[in-house]
């Protein structure tokens, strides 16, 4: 059971803050729409990154991920570009997309002092039925988690719904990387696990803002961090997919801020 000290660290957002975060989230969604036509064979990850940075800065915002992290190893890109077996935090480089790839693209912005954050997985050209089923299930897992969000529900309900759906279809649920609170900082309390037990965890309250971002693997849930200190891949090198939204808990349920 969470004590009052933990509860007091969960920032509840005001109506003004939520509307500012909706603008930030809206810019994230716009950036996806700008980049989507370029997600095709032959395009490099670095080109997608360049277009994202130009668009975000042109709207008076800053890329949230560029320079994020430790001083001795800050993240070098505007987007996280995670291809095939890369689960998350893929660095955008000169790699060209190929027919049959999947690309998990994670975008964050800082606008008027508040963050927006979302991820979607794109199919590139013609993908196998096995990979398409993985992507479809991951999208459904995000929705299953969203469907649990309402005042009085627990964070464990979100994780349980995601885990139950993914594992019922034979997929692995990544444990080490989670959803998170978000606001004036990119990562705040609470932590949102994508696995869990019903009726456990933190009780949801109106005004809480956080992300749900399940990472679902075609094989086992085990992960491996590469030597660059950022890129996380599946231990068995099978594909992984991810979808993410930023949302606010409302008196009747939830409202997605990254649409």
Which residues constitute the domain of residue 244?
Answer: 4-256
Residues belonging to the binding site for a divalent metal cation are 106, 117, 180, 213, 244
Q: Work out the average pLDDT over 70-74.
A: 97
Tokens of 64: 């949230």
Mean pLDDT score of the chain, rounded to an integer? 96
Lateral strand order in the sheet of 86-88: 86-88, 232-234, 223-225
Residue with tokens 């398409």: 132
Beta-bridge partner residues of 215? 242
- Model confidence over 157-179: pLDDT tens digits? 999 999 999 999 999 999 999 99
- Model confidence over 78-91: pLDDT tens digits? 999 999 999 999 99
Q: Work out the average pLDDT over 20-43.
A: 98
Q: Is 206 exposed, middle or buried (0-12, 13-18, 19+ CB in 10 A)?
A: middle
| C-alpha to C-alpha distance for 210 and 207, rounded to whole angstroms | 10
pLDDT above 70 (res 9)? no
Residues belonging to the binding site for substrate are 89, 187
- Model confidence over 182-235: pLDDT tens digits? 999 999 999 999 999 999 999 999 999 999 999 999 999 999 999 999 999 999
Nearest to 182 by CA among 148, 214, 211, 143: 211
pLDDT above 80 (res 29)? yes
**CATH number of the domain where residue 28 is located:** 3.90.230.10
Instruction: Give pairs for 129-136: CB < 8 Å, separation 24+.
Output: 130/218, 131/100, 131/102, 131/218, 131/239, 133/169, 134/102, 134/171, 134/216, 134/218, 134/239, 134/240, 134/241, 135/102, 135/241
- Model confidence over 86-128: pLDDT tens digits? 999 999 999 999 999 999 999 999 999 999 999 999 999 999 9
Q: Work out the average pLDDT over 75-80.
A: 98
Residues belonging to the binding site are 89, 106, 117, 180, 187, 213, 244
- Give the count of domains, the chain: 1
| C-alpha to C-alpha distance for 134 and 198, rounded to whole angstroms | 24
**Band of residue 11 on the pLDDT scale cut at 50, 70, 90:** confident
Q: Work out the average pLDDT over 28-42.
A: 98
pLDDT at res. 10:
85
């Amino acid at each position: 059971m969470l004590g009052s000290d933990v509860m007091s660290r969960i920032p509840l957002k005001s109506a003004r803050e939520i509307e500012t975060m909706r603008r930030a989230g809206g810019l994230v969604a716009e950036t996806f729409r700008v980049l989507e036509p370029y997600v095709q064979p032959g395009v490099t990850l670095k080109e997608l990154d360049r277009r994202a940075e130009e668009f975000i800065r042109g709207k008076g915002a800053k890329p949230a991920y560029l320079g994020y992290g430790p001083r001795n190893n800050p993240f070098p890109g505007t987007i996280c570009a995670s291809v095939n077996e890369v689960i998350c935090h893929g660095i955008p480089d000169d790699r060209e997309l190929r027919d049959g790839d999947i690309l998990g693209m994670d975008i964050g912005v800082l606008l008027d002092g508040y963050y927006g954050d979302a991820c979607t997985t794109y199919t590139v050209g013609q993908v196998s039925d096995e990979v398409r089923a993985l992507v479809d299930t991951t999208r459904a897992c995000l929705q299953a988690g969203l469907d649990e969000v309402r005042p009085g529900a627990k964070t464990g309900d979100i994780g349980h719904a995601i885990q139950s759906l993914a594992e019922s279809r034979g997929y692995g649920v990544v444990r080490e990387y989670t959803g998170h609170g978000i606001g004036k900082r990119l990562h705040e309390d609470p932590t949102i696990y994508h696995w869990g037990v019903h009726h456990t965890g933190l009780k949801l309250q109106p005004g809480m803002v956080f992300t749900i971002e399940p990472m679902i693997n075609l094989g086992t849930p085990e992960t491996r961090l590469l030597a660059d200190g950022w890129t996380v891949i599946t231990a068995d090198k099978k594909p992984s997919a991810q979808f993410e939204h930023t949302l606010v808990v409302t008196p009747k349920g939830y409202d997605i801020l990254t649409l």
